[in-house]
Structure 1
Amino acid sequence: MRRTETGKEDRLRRTIKLDYADAIGGVLLIVGGIWFALYAMNYDMGTARRMGPAYFPFGIGCLVALFGLGCLLGALRRAGAMPVIEWRPFFAICGAVLAFTLVIERFGLIPATIALVLISALADEKPSATVTIILAAALCLVGVGIFSWGLGIPMPILRWTN
Structure 2
Amino acid sequence: MRRARDLADIIGGVALIGGGAWFVLHSTGYNMGTLRRMGPGYFPVIIGSLVCLFGILVMVPAMFRQGTLPVPDWRPFVAICLSVLVFALVVERLGLVPATVCLTFVAALAERVKPLQVVLLAAGLCVIGVVVFSKGLGIPIPAFRWNFF
Partners of 1:146 and 1:56 in 2: CA distance: 26
1:136 to 99, 118, 122: 122
Amino acid corresponding to residue 54 of structure 1 in structure 2: G
Partners of 1:48 and 1:144 in 2: CA distance: 38
Partners of 2:59 and 2:88 in 1: CA distance: 32
Amino acid corresponding to residue 95 of structure 1 in structure 2: L
Deviates more, 1:93-102 or 1:58-67: 58-67
Quote the RMSD (CA, aligned, Å): 2.9
Q: 1:107 to 1:82 in 2, by over 3 A?
A: same
Amino acid corresponding to residue 132 of structure 1 in structure 2: V
Using the size of structure 2 for normalisation, the TM-score is: 0.73
Q: Return the offset for 1:146.
A: 4.6
Partners of 1:140 and 1:69 in 2: CA distance: 40
Using the size of structure 1 for normalisation, the TM-score is: 0.69
Number of residue pairs matched by the alignment: 147
For the residue of structure 1 that corresponds to 2:91, the secondary structure is: helix
CA displacement 1:78-135 (0-9 Å, x = unmatched): 32211213332222122112122223333333333332222122122x2332333343
Give the 4+ runs in structure 1 shifted more than 6 A.
Answer: none
Amino acid corresponding to residue 131 of structure 1 in structure 2: Q
CA displacement 1:20-45 (0-9 Å, x = unmatched): 22221221121112112222233343
The alignment status of 1:38 with 2:38, answered yes or no, reads no
1:71 to 58, 63, 70: 58
1:105 to 71, 74, 92: 92
Partners of 1:149 and 1:58 in 2: CA distance: 34
Unmatched tracts of structure 2, length 5 or more? none
Q: Return the offset for 1:138.
A: 3.9
Contact map agreement 2:31 2:40 (CA 8 A) in 1 = yes
Match of 1:5 in 2: none
Q: Return the offset for 1:47.
A: 3.8
Amino acid corresponding to residue 11 of structure 2 in structure 1: I
Unmatched tracts of structure 1, length 5 or more? 1-7
Listed as ranges, the matches of 1:86-125 within 5 Å are 86-124=73-111
Partners of 1:121 and 1:33 in 2: CA distance: 31
Deviates more, 1:115-124 or 1:103-112: 103-112
